[in-house]
Amino acid sequence: MGYIINLISDEAKRIRVLKESYAQQLSLLPKGTLRTRRRGNHEYYYLSFRDGEKIITDYVGKDEKRINELKQSLEKRKHVEDILRQLDRELSVAKRILEGEK
């Protein structure tokens, strides 16, 4: 039984390190939603995000390369957030097991 507890303890440590790494990665990625507004025949792209209570909307521009990079970064952020949620669940399970053994 001690081997399993050590294994779970090591896994909890690994999860904490991963969470820290992903949190740092998340801080470098843009947050918000890319919005498209049409004015006549033209499309304008804006990045909307929250800053506390305020909703900030920044004009992105029309450069397709920049828009695609921003879309990819936002998708990556969503993926990293999903991973962090999963790691939180796994860490919670590990903590419950370890607390039950003490």
Q: Is 8 a member of any domain?
A: no
Cα–Cα dist 7/10, whole Å: 5
Judge contact between 61 and 77, C-beta under 8 A.
no
Q: Is 6 a member of any domain?
A: no
Global pTM? 0.81
- pLDDT above 80 (res 1): no
Q: Is 4 a member of any domain?
A: no
Number of domains in the chain: 1
Look at residue 62 in the predicted model and tell me its pLDDT.
Answer: 86
- pLDDT above 60 (res 52): yes
Q: Which domain holds residue 17?
A: 13-101
Burial of residue 39 (number of CB atoms within 10 Å: 0-12, 13-18, 19+):
exposed
pLDDT band at 101 (very low <50, low <70, confident <90, very high): low
Q: Is 65 a member of any domain?
A: yes
Q: Is 69 a member of any domain?
A: yes
Using one digit for the tens of pLDDT, what is the confidence trace for 3-51? 888 999 999 999 999 999 999 999 999 999 999 999 999 999 999 999 9
Q: Is 33 a member of any domain?
A: yes
Cα–Cα dist 66/74, whole Å: 12
- Provide the CA 86 distance to its chain's centre, in angstroms: 11
Q: Hey, what amino acid is at 65? A: K
